[in-house]
């Protein structure tokens, strides 16, 4: 499978309607478009009435196309949104349209020009996976998933309140309307979910009925005499899984740690109207280095859950920091490493993001450098940040209490997120988590200059007042006090000489300042994100796994309201925006953009599962 999704090959009708050559079909009815969206899908799903009493409402759409349905939904939501409510729309598209083509399609509808302009400015990057586009002023989140419809639905972490079936005609694109696709929709349908489509094909009606959708014909739009609308009358399907996931109860969220993970999470929760308090030790950590590189980790095998995480996290990070005027995409050159030639021959990002810089190097056009302290100050502006060292976390009748070393209460909260880097495993509830500390030393050469950033494991980048380069990554004890040393500086200078000889010469005469800090990593070098399991009970309930037997079906034992967010390693500024949005969505009972297999690959309980499979020091 290629690393990039196909781009559609388009023709245009005289009316300005896009037509896909592959399917020999138009994207919307001639002379319709916006009116068709309103008549077939919005009215067909009973909108806006269906969301009138809802705090959160989720629409799942098959066939994003030019985004006209999303624009129609956005306009109606803006006009009828219940106070304090959030709307999520998740749309699956196999062949993402170019922004310029979408803008051309929208030009026929001047009544939505402002909404079109806002969407085009955020238009999804042509890359596999999900991208969430927030329209914060309207509390509208549009998540576009690029990929095969069957694979995307199987991994979609959402419960649909309304479903739009808007692929090309069944005779031209049968996979979009297959019995398997309809069965996948039934698995994510909420009780009573509405469903609407322009098609009344017999195979479609029978497949819907077989999966518990009660549908009826209604007057069609334009040249089509009829359309379908209906409800899901079947029983909701609960996802079987070993890893706990659940929203938090209403009330204050206490975040232990005010580095980039905590700051991004606070931003995501405040966007949803949640009360947030951060507790900071005040020891800065790696989040307060002078500069940080925002660049992708691209894997040779793009299909693995972790590879997809890193790809989508990079796209989200660029969007996140640019929207906050905290990032300039200067470009980063990555020199030869295993697998880079494969990526250059079959790239996972379009040419305006990723290209060949030389025979043995790649140019990440949208990568760049940020100033961490400025970013954190912006994210934490207006946040309640309390100074204190949390020594213990204890249950209370209404949630959790954080206490200092003397046992005095620091704060009470309905839910808690442990986001304190290398200290994540310092509490009784998380002591089993294999979080490891790594000492990283970074150098700053005051007055030195270079044009752009370069990397090959080590990196060097221009920043305000000079050049930063490094960094070491040495395992240490979590309690280690990271102080700069000459040996680490010598290693960083040697790495710089190999990576960028001209910059090394520039740096030799400069005043060099060193800074060391702790980073947190895990044995598989992937993050920890999600609701914390009750480790002892979890191991007891699922002990059959250790003997190769299928575990009994039971809700995974969990610590209600206690979440982990850590293990970001040296990629905290790239990973934090996407992971914070993911965790905030879980805590607020919203659909998440990361696929289920990605969520499982970063869930804290994965390490308990591995313990059972390996029978590691477990009393069974």
Residue-by-residue DSSP string for 439-482: EEEEEEEET---SSEEESSSEEEEETTEEEEE---EEE-TT---
Please give the average per-residue pLDDT across 170-199, as a whole number: 94
Q: Which residues contact 189 (CB under 8 A, 6 or more apart)?
A: 159, 160, 163, 195, 212, 213, 232, 234, 236
Lowest mean pLDDT among 38-42, 45-49, 223-227, 392-396: 223-227
Please give the average per-residue pLDDT across 151-157, as a whole number: 96
**For residues 13 and 19, is the Cβ–Cβ distance under 8 A?**
yes
Lowest mean pLDDT among 191-200, 220-229, 388-397, 526-535: 220-229
Per-residue pLDDT, 14:
81
pLDDT at 556 over 60: yes
**For residues 183 and 85, is the Cβ–Cβ distance under 8 A?**
no
Please give the average per-residue pLDDT across 286-308, as a whole number: 91
**For residues 607 and 433, is the Cβ–Cβ distance under 8 A?**
yes
Per-residue pLDDT, 31:
63
Lowest mean pLDDT among 160-169, 321-330, 371-380: 321-330
Which carries the bigger pLDDT value, residue 354 or residue 239? 354
**For residues 229 and 216, is the Cβ–Cβ distance under 8 A?**
yes
Q: How far apart are CA 249 and CA 247, in angstroms?
A: 7
Residue 566 CA to chain centroid, in angstroms? Answer: 15
Enter the DSSP assignment of 434: -
Per-residue pLDDT, 498:
94
Please give the average per-residue pLDDT across 51-60, as a whole number: 97
pLDDT at 278 over 90: yes
Q: How far apart are CA 243 and CA 238, in angstroms?
A: 13
Residue 60: how many CA atoms within 13 Å on its side-chain side? 26
Per-residue pLDDT, 288:
83
Residue 514 bridge partners (DSSP): 443
| Backbone φ, ψ for residue 207 (5° rounding) | -65, -40
pLDDT, the chain, mean: 93
Q: Which residues contact 223 (CB under 8 A, 6 or more apart)?
A: 29, 30
Enter the DSSP assignment of 540: H
Q: How far apart are CA 258 and CA 277, in angstroms?
A: 10
Residue 239 CA to chain centroid, in angstroms? Answer: 20
Q: How far apart are CA 521 and CA 504, in angstroms?
A: 29
Is the dihedral angle over the CA atoms 208, 210, 213, 215 positive or is it negative? positive
Q: How far apart are CA 608 and CA 613, in angstroms?
A: 9
Q: Which domains does the chain show, CATH number per domain?
A: 10-232 (3.40.50.150), 253-285+374-434+524-607 (3.50.50.60), 299-371+437-521 (3.30.9.10)
pLDDT-derived band at 284, boundaries 50, 70, 90: low
pLDDT digits (tens, 9 = 90+) for 458-473: 999 999 899 999 999 9
Please give the average per-residue pLDDT across 394-408, as a whole number: 96
Q: Which of 54, 56, 51 is nearest to 584 (CA)?
A: 56
Per-residue pLDDT, 75:
98
Per-residue pLDDT, 379:
95
pLDDT digits (tens, 9 = 90+) for 489-517: 999 999 999 999 999 999 988 899 999 99
Helices and strands in the chain: count of H runs, count of E runs? 17, 31
**pTM of the model as a whole:** 0.96
The bridge status of strand 558-566 relative to strand 415-418 is parallel
């Amino acid at each position: 499978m290629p690393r990039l999704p196909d781009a559609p090959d388009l023709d245009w009708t005289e009316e300005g309607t896009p037509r896909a050559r592959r399917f020999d079909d138009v994207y919307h009815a001639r002379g319709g478009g916006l009116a068709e969206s309103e008549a077939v899908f919005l009215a067909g799903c009973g909108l806006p009435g269906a969301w009138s009493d809802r705090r959160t409402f989720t629409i799942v759409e098959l066939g994003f196309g030019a985004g006209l349905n999303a624009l129609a939904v956005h306009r109606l939501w803006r006009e009828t949104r219940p106070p304090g409510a959030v709307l999520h729309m998740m749309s699956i598209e196999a062949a993402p349209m170019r922004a310029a083509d979408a803008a051309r399609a929208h030009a026929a509808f001047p009544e939505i020009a402002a909404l079109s302009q806002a969407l085009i400015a955020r238009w999804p990057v042509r890359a596999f996976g999900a991208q969430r586009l927030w329209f914060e002023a309207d509390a509208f989140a549009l998540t576009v998933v690029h990929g095969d419809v069957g694979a995307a639905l199987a991994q979609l972490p959402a419960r649909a309140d309304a479903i739009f079936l808007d692929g090309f005609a069944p005779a031209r694109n049968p996979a979009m309307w297959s019995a398997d696709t309809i069965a996948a929709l039934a698995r994510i349908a909420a009780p009573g979910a509405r469903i609407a489509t322009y098609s009344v094909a017999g195979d479609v009606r029978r497949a819907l009925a077989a999966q518990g959708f009660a549908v009826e014909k209604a007057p069609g739009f334009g040249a089509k005499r009829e359309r379908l609308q209906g409800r899901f009358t079947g029983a909701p399907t609960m996802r079987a899984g070993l890893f706990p996931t659940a929203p938090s109860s209403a009330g204050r969220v206490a975040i232990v740690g005010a580095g980039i993970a905590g700051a991004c999470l606070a931003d995501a929760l405040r966007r949803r109207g949640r009360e947030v308090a951060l507790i900071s030790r005040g020891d800065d950590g790696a989040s307060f280095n002078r500069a940080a590189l925002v660049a992708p980790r691209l894997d040779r095998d793009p299909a693995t859950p972790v590879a997809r995480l890193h790809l989508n996290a990079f796209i989200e990070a660029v969007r996140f920091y640019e929207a906050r005027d905290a990032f300039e995409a200067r470009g980063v050159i990555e020199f030869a490493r295993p697998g880079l030639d494969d990526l250059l021959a079959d790239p996972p990002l379009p040419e305006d993001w990723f290209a060949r810089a030389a025979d043995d190097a790649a140019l990440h056009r949208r990568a760049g450098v940020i100033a961490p302290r400025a970013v954190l100050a912006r994210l934490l502006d207006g946040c309640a940040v309390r100074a204190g060292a949390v020594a213990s976390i204890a249950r209370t009748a209404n949630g959790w209490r954080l206490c200092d070393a003397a046992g005095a209460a620091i704060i009470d909260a309905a839910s808690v997120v442990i986001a304190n880097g290398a200290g994540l495993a310092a509490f009784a509830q998380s002591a089993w988590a294999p979080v490891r500390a790594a000492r990283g030393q970074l150098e700053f050469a005051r007055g030195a200059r270079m044009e752009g950033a370069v990397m090959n494991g080590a990196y060097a980048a221009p920043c305000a007042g000079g050049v930063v380069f490094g960094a070491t990554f040495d395992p240490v004890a979590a309690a280690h006090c990271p102080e700069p040393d000459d040996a680490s500086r010598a290693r960083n200078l040697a790495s710089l000489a190999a990576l960028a000889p001209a910059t090394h010469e520039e740096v030799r005469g400069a005043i060099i300042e060193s800074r060391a800090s702790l980073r947190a990593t895990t044995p598989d070098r992937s993050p920890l994100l999600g609701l914390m399991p009750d480790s002892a009970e979890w191991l007891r309930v699922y002990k059959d796994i250790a003997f190769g037997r299928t575990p009994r079906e039971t809700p995974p034992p969990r610590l209600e309201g206690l979440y982990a967010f850590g293990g970001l390693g040296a990629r905290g500024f790239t990973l934090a925006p996407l992971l914070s949005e993911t965790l905030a969505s879980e805590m607020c009972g919203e659909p998440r953009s990361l696929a289920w297999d990605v969520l499982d690959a970063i869930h804290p309980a994965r390490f308990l599962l591995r313990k059972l499979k390996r029978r590691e020091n477990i009393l069974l």
